A = this chain, B = another copy of it.
Amino acid sequence: MIPIDDTPLCRDGKVLILAYDHGLEHGPVDFEGVPESADPERTFEAATHPAVTSVAVQKGIAEAYYPSYEDDVDLLAKLNGTSNLWMGEPDSAVNCSVEYAAELGASSVGFTVYGGSNHEIEMVEEFREAQEAAREHGMAVVMWSYPRGQGLKNDTKPSTISYAARLALELGADVAKVKHPGSREAMEDAVRMAGRTKVVMSGGSKTSDRAFLESVKQTIDAGGKGLAVGRNVWQRENPERILDALEAVIFEEATVDEALEAAD
């Protein structure tokens, strides 16, 4: 962990990452509901919204689309990922080097670690290399901290999420992206375990505006520092509307009702 409040990843110490690596992780199926969401430009456009601190994409998307947006959007390069065509014990290929991410203009990097997987050892060692290289480039490091694998039956129970948050702190991430553990108390515990590492909630699959904003609000109230969200933004017909609401909740201390109203 290093101080990152002055980097583009943060606004007033808070974080809103717009994640768009689903084409790799989940495949085209995620774009079915809103077909135009398959076009990365649409997400980059959404990322120009002032609520968004960074957009998180894989190397190829960054190469092809980021040059057109580099003045308006901050880039977080996601360094690893796996297709869901593959069915093995959770693992993730490192498909971009930190050096190349820096060349692409990224100001921070993202890295998935599946704690508890039979590949935990290898992933943590790959994370070490990425984290130390990121330090050399002065880049912030966001860990997608997702315990998963053979030994884990329930990967969103509170104790697992708290452990996930702690792993991010212990291993040197500046930001821990974790799933919502289901209650404010549980999120508070995760935040406490992460110490000086910022905790952000993982947006997850698409839900209603209210349900989604309430989980975000709960995260903020629990001391979380924001959100890394994908489908709950770009699977909506109007990404801007939910981003308005998120801005209110995350950066302006609005209630969910106020946020929903403001976004109308």
Docked-complex contact A116 and B83, CB < 8 angstroms = yes
* Binary contact track A147-169/B, C-beta < 8 Å → 1, others 0: 10111100000011011001111
Which residues 65-123 of A have a CB within 8 angstroms of B? 65, 81-83, 85-88, 91-97, 99-100, 115-118, 120-122
Q: How far is the CB of A49 from chain B (nearest CB, A)?
A: 21
Residues of chain A at the chain B interface (Cβ within 8 Å): 1-2, 21, 23-24, 27-29, 31, 35, 38-40, 58-61, 63-65, 81-83, 85-88, 91-97, 99-100, 115-118, 120-122, 124-125, 127-128, 131-132, 135, 147, 149-152, 159-160, 162-163, 166-173, 189, 192-193, 195-197
Docked-complex contact B61 and A94, CB < 8 angstroms = no
Chain B residues within 8 Å of A88, by CB = 118
Q: A24-B166, A64-B169, A171-B58 are in contact. Are A160 and B193 (CB under 8 A)?
A: no
Q: A82-B120, A93-B120, A147-B85 are in contact. Are A27 and B60 (CB under 8 A)?
A: no
Chain B residues within 8 Å of A82, by CB = 120-121, 124
Q: A120-B86, A193-B38 are in contact. Are A169 and B61 (CB under 8 A)?
A: yes
Q: How far is the CB of A181 from chain B (nearest CB, A)?
A: 12
Docked-complex contact A166 and B23, CB < 8 angstroms = yes
Chain B residues within 8 Å of A192, by CB = 35, 38-39
Q: How far is the CB of A106 from chain B (nearest CB, A)?
A: 14
Docked-complex contact A23 and B189, CB < 8 angstroms = no
Complex alpha-carbon distance, A128 and B129, angstroms: 15
One of B96, B118, B151 near A128 (C-beta < 8 A) = B96
One of B23, B97, B151, B166 near A169 (C-beta < 8 A) = B23
One of B85, B135, B197 near A163 (C-beta < 8 A) = B85
Chain B residues within 8 Å of A59, by CB = 128, 131, 170-172
Chain B residues within 8 Å of A147, by CB = 83, 85
Chain B residues within 8 Å of A100, by CB = 132, 135
Complex alpha-carbon distance, A131 and B60, angstroms: 10
Q: How far is the CB of A195 from chain B (nearest CB, A)?
A: 6
Chain B residues within 8 Å of A171, by CB = 24, 58-60, 95
Docked-complex contact A166 and B28, CB < 8 angstroms = yes
Docked-complex contact B96 and A121, CB < 8 angstroms = no
Query: Which residue of chain B is the closest to A161 with respect to CB atoms?
Result: B28
